[in-house]
Structure 1
Amino acid sequence: MGIELHHLRGFLTLAEERHFTRAADRLRLSQPSLSRNIKRLEEQLGVRLLTRTTRHVDMTPAGQRLYRQLAEILPRLEEALRPDRSGEVLRLGFTWGFPAEWAHAAMSAFERDTGVRVDPVRRDEPLAGLDHGEADVAIVRGQVTAKGVRVVPLSEERRILAVAANDPLTARRSVDWTELPKLPLVINTVSGTTQLDEWPPENQPVASAVCTNFDEWLEAVAAGRGVGVVPESIASSHMHPTVVFIPLGGAPRCLLQLVVPRHGAHPLTGAFITLAKEAVSSWLDRSAK
């Protein structure tokens, strides 16, 4: 049978109100939608449940019988379908530079709306543990080429140059992207947002130091092993006493996105994505003022 819960809920509400407009208001439906639901229910059951006049709605004997049974069964069924989410957790993976400005707002809204706790999980891997089942949703910067995942774009960030405090470049107001092939570059090969293949093979920077996580990368820059390139937001959240950040002109924007499994995703992934988009939009609006 093609009977669904909203058909039964509509009939029960209409039987209590005896008025289409009032019942539709309670259900937050339009009156035509409610009428179609009642008609569909009657067609599926093959009996008339209601008699309608211009002013009144009355139940037929079949309608009275169905109402008595639904009044007892439907509340119990809806209670059984209401999930117990106590102890449920959504794991939010990240590699470095947790974007607290919008992520905390999204986490708070999600926990308030769903009752499910969000736990940040740091993994120094390209997909922040998502591909190993250690995260349900991952915050990832830069290009994502992995298969079996869905990428949800959130925003784009400007890039900046990181240099040691005693580097002569600190006297500059800005550095251009085209100058970087002439400079020694510190590369984070695992979770970094800037790799050598962003330049043509004949004009690539020299990788003066190769690291596998952000902390090693930051210390290599601080020690003067070379310069580094990161998203602009890192300057405010990862200050280092001997690292200076300089505007970088002409650099390609760095993508910021959420990544989720294409199959077998957490049931509440969609809800978190919606709230994350709203939080990022609000954060960008505030940043633009």
Structure 2
Amino acid sequence: MSVELRHLHAFLAIAEEGSITRAAARLHTGQPALSRTLAQLEAHLGLRLVDRSTHHLELTPAGRVFHDRAALAVDAVRTALDPAGLGSWPLRLGHPWAALGADTVPLLRRWDELHPAVPLELRRIDDSTAGLTRGLVDAALLRGEVGAPGVETELLLYEDRVAVLPADSPLAAREVLAAAELAECRLAVNTVSGTSSPALWPPQARPRGTLEVANTDEWLTAIAAGRAVGVSTVATPSIHSHPAIVYRPLTGLPPVPVYFARRRGPGHPALPALLSLAREVTAHHARTTP
């Protein structure tokens, strides 16, 4: 049996819906037919992709790996068959929350000047790889260590950290803060794409608690409401301003590496040019740990 696009669509729908019944309704097919399609795909691969033994359907470890590959394949076919893209091939650059900070606009302007025939689309995606492993973007700007399989990275720069405070916090009156001064505060932690957690502090001097959020908007709102303080990098203030939030330089914590990330293997032909330009516009930053 040869695998067809319908097998990938079926598997992705099952994975995303968490239910064969809901996936069948989404695909406008019957549950038995969808189950057979999944069984055919698993037989072809010789692997179990979906664990049906629990009340809530879950992907097996092999299924999670295959999910990313299937998403990439479907996205590649969709892009290739999109008539709107035949005149030009957009280059999609993802980021989870701060792109290149103050260097973002210079990057976009310089790209438009140098490569007017290749649209550069900047996409914010709340995901640990900004959609890279799901095939939603061609490259991504990522902070912190990147351990996703099949992804290669190049260090662009290091960024110092900042404290992110409610504007009415007593600490907001300070010009510079030390990490130890946040030990009595509750820390807002972005569990999806953040780079800061209590583990950055010594065990005996960690923030007194955490408030977990799933994206940048929730993180900003929690801090603005006075429910927690945050720690980010110097890129954030230029991208995310808020009348109820102030940013202050923070000492005592290590800087954050910023990487240009792409999937291994063939990709958009303009990726080398984008990497070169990203190096150029960030050249004034340190590329080694301060």
For the aligned pair, the TM-score class normalised by the smaller chain equals 0.5 to 0.7
What displacement does 1:108 show? 4.0
What displacement does 1:256 show? 1.4
Q: Partner residue of 1:191? A: 193
Residue identity matched to 1:278: E
What displacement does 1:203 show? 4.5
Tell whether 2:92 aligns with 1:91.
yes
What displacement does 1:172 show? 2.4
CA distance in structure 2 between the aligned counterparts of 1:120 and 1:236, rounded to whole angstroms: 16
Task: Give the counterpart of 2:176 among 171, 174, 177.
Answer: 174
Task: State the number of aligned residues.
Answer: 201
SS of residue in 1 equivalent to 2:221: helix
Task: Write out per-residue CA displacement over residues 124-157 of structure 1, whole angstroms, 9 at most, x where no aligned residue.
Answer: 0011000100000101122212221111111111
What displacement does 1:228 show? 0.4
SS of residue in 2 equivalent to 1:217: helix
What are the ranges of 5 or more consecutive residues in structure 1 without an aligned counterpart? Answer: 1-83
TM-score (norm 2): 0.63
What are the ranges of 5 or more consecutive residues in structure 2 without an aligned counterpart? Answer: 1-84
CA distance in structure 1 between the aligned counterparts of 2:154 and 2:193, rounded to whole angstroms: 18
Tell whether 2:244 aligns with 1:261.
no
Deviates more, 1:157-166 or 1:203-212: 203-212
CA distance in structure 2 between the aligned counterparts of 1:255 and 1:165, rounded to whole angstroms: 28
SS of residue in 1 equivalent to 2:129: coil
Structure number with larger C-alpha Rg: 1
CA distance in structure 2 between the aligned counterparts of 1:174 and 1:101, rounded to whole angstroms: 20
Tell whether 2:132 aligns with 1:130.
yes
Shift in alpha-carbon separation, 1:100–1:176, aligned structure 2, 3 A: closer
TM-score (norm 1): 0.63
Residue identity matched to 1:215: D
CA distance in structure 2 between the aligned counterparts of 1:279 and 1:166, rounded to whole angstroms: 35
Given that residues 94 and 138 in structure 1 are in contact (C-alpha distance below 8 angstroms), is that contact kept between their aligned partners in structure 2? Answer: yes
Residue identity matched to 2:163: L
SS of residue in 2 equivalent to 1:244: strand
Q: Partner residue of 1:204? A: 206
CA distance in structure 1 between the aligned counterparts of 2:239 and 2:281, rounded to whole angstroms: 18
Q: Partner residue of 1:24? A: none
CA distance in structure 2 between the aligned counterparts of 1:104 and 1:169, rounded to whole angstroms: 31
SS of residue in 1 equivalent to 2:145: coil
What displacement does 1:91 show? 0.4
Given that residues 85 and 115 in structure 1 are in contact (C-alpha distance below 8 angstroms), is that contact kept between their aligned partners in structure 2? Answer: no
Percent of aligned pairs sharing the same letter: 35
* RMSD value, Cα: 2.3
